[in-house]
């Protein structure tokens, strides 16, 4: 499997991830600073990595920044990406099963190497769920993504299209108030 990896800061954890991925037989495309202590802009390197997934030049991506939050936010702005910020193996497992996550976001600060290995074990060992209910949820995410990606719609129109049952209920509640 080809994995795109990005980070804004080259730390020891990055070296551990790259070595672990290669040890597991994955091909790695790396986006980020080359040496420990160097830095890059996290939005830029994150987009470079997830773009590899969207263009089918990588199967999945692992994106990192100090907290993991910034890179997960940026990754999820890219249509077709379902990034999950995982701090433990069970979260990684759930992200794969229920969310069909194709991008793993990690914190450079809060991810110890032993926990990283557990997260990677669950991430790579857990297939996407293929039950009808879950497939319906993922299809709904794709529908919402397509609506949100439509240029020119004001935010209220996007939410009205994406969440008609929620929006109507909110309007009804506001009329009664």
The residues near 29 (Cβ < 8 Å, ≥ 6 apart) are 2, 3, 4, 5, 49, 52, 57, 58
Residue 87: closest CA among 61, 69, 100: 69
Residues 137, 80 within the same domain:
no
Clarify whether 86 is annotated catalytic.
no
Confidence of residue 95 (pLDDT cuts 50, 70, 90): very high
Residue 169 banded pLDDT, cuts 50, 70, 90: very low
Same domain, 29 and 105: yes
Q: What is the mean pLDDT of residues 2-27?
A: 97
Q: For the chain, give the mean pLDDT.
A: 88
Domain span at residue 16 reads 2-125
Element of type H or E holding 70: helix 69-76
Bridge partners of 84, per DSSP, are: 104
Residue 172 pLDDT greater than 90, yes or no:
no
Mean pLDDT throughout 49-74? 97
Q: Worst-scoring range by mean pLDDT, 29-43, 61-75, 85-99?
A: 29-43
**Co-location of 61 and 12 in the same domain:** yes
Same domain, 52 and 108: yes
Whether residues 121 and 162 share a domain: the answer is no
Q: What is the CATH number of the domain that holds 72?
A: 3.40.1400.10
pTM score of the predicted model: 0.84
Same domain? For 121 and 40 the reply is: yes
My answer on whether 143 and 121 are in the same domain is no
Q: Are residues 13 and 78 in the same domain?
A: yes
Residue 5, helix vs strand vs coil: strand
Catalytic residue among 50, 65, 92, 162: 65
Is the domain of 110 the same as that of 150? no
């Amino acid at each position: 499997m080809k994995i795109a990896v990005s980070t804004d800061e080259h730390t020891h954890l990055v070296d551990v991830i790259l070595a672990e991925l290669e040890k597991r037989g994955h091909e790695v495309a790396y986006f980020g600073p080359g040496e420990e202590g160097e830095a890059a802009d996290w939005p830029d390197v994150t987009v470079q990595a997830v773009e590899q997934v969207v263009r089918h030049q990588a199967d999945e991506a692992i994106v990192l920044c100090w907290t993991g939050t910034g890179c997960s936010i940026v990754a999820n702005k890219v249509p077709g990406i379902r990034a999950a910020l995982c701090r433990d193996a069970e979260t990684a497992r759930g992200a794969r099963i229920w969310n069909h996550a194709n991008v793993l976001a990690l914190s450079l600060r809060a991810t110890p190497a032993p926990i990283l290995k557990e997260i990677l074990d669950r991430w790579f060992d857990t297939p996407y769920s293929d039950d009808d209910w879950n497939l319906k949820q993922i299809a709904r995410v794709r529908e919402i993504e397509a609506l949100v990606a439509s240029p020119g719609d004001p935010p209220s129109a996007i939410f009205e299209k994406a969440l008609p049952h929620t929006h109507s209920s909110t309007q009804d509640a506001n009329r009664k108030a």
